[in-house]
């Protein structure tokens, strides 16, 4: 991912190790060699903040250092992110329905039963904001309610996110090259 106005910021997948790293230039990879971590993101200017995938459990965890894994053992949750300094905020994947939900505690799942939506994120304190995956078209869209899908019909774009209140900001996946680009128009 190249961030507009920050062209030196990339999301990099290291070819040999398949580590995924968010770095501030093309050459800095900052590898983590840890037997239980198979993927991670380092946040520039916050070098102690990582998005970790625990090798054994496949839990995905956003942590404030390399060793803190904070596992959640809950029968209906198979993946999650804990947000540092906001320990009650999780990104949950419900085991049975595979719904992705950002919740303010471990038990609130807020399911959406809509025939065209197969995945979503609800933002706490902003319950009308969702990340939706349209079942038929597989378009991923951040919308301000359940029904607004704002489709982009463009032959080279197969996925996108529209940011509410910033309608000119999209996350685009170019169909031919599979490049993912966050753009301002």
Each residue of 145-172: pLDDT tens digit? 333 333 333 333 444 444 444 444 444 4
User: Over the chain, what is the mean pLDDT?
Assistant: 38
Structural domain contains residue 125? no
Task: Flag whether 23 is in a domain.
Answer: yes
| 57 part of a folded domain | yes
pLDDT at 116: 36
Number of folded domains in the chain? Answer: 1
Average pLDDT over every residue of 31-59: 39
Q: What angle do CA 17, 18, 19 make, to 5 degrees?
A: 90
Q: Structure pTM? A: 0.17
3-state helix, strand, coil in the chain (%, to 5): 0, 45, 55
Is residue 38 in a domain? yes
Confidence (pLDDT) at 28: 34
The answer to whether position 54 is within a domain reads yes
Range with lowest mean pLDDT among 60-74, 150-164, 166-180: 60-74
| Residue range(s) defining the domain that contains residue 44 | 1-71
Determine the pLDDT at residue 97: 37
Band of pLDDT at residue 60, cut at 50, 70 and 90: very low
Tell me whether residue 46 is in a domain. yes
CA gap 111, 148 in Å, rounded: 17
pLDDT single digits (tens) 77-109:
344 444 333 344 444 433 333 333 433 333 333
Report which of 49, 118, 121 is spatially closest to residue 92, judged by C-alpha positions. 121
Q: What angle do CA 149, 153, 157 make, to 5 degrees?
A: 100
Give the integer Cα–Cα distance in Å for 117 and 17.
34
């Amino acid at each position: 991912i190249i961030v507009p106005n920050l062209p030196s910021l990339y999301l990099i997948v290291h070819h040999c190790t398949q580590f995924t790293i968010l770095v501030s230039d093309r050459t800095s990879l900052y590898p983590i060699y840890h037997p239980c971590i198979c993927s991670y993101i380092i946040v520039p200017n916050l070098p102690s903040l990582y998005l970790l995938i625990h090798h054994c459990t496949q839990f995905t965890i956003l942590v404030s250092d390399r060793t803190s894994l904070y596992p959640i053992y809950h029968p209906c949750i198979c993946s999650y992110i804990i947000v540092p300094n906001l320990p009650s905020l999780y990104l949950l994947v419900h085991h049975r329905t595979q719904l992705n939900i950002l919740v303010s505690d471990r038990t609130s799942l807020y399911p959406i039963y809509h025939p065209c939506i197969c995945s979503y994120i609800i933002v706490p304190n902003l319950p009308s904001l969702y990340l939706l995956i349209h079942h038929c078209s597989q378009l991923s869209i951040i919308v301000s309610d359940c029904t607004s899908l704002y489709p982009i019909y463009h032959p080279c774009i197969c996925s996108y996110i529209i940011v509410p209140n910033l309608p000119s900001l999209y996350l685009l996946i170019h169909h031919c090259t599979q490049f993912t680009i966050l753009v301002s128009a």
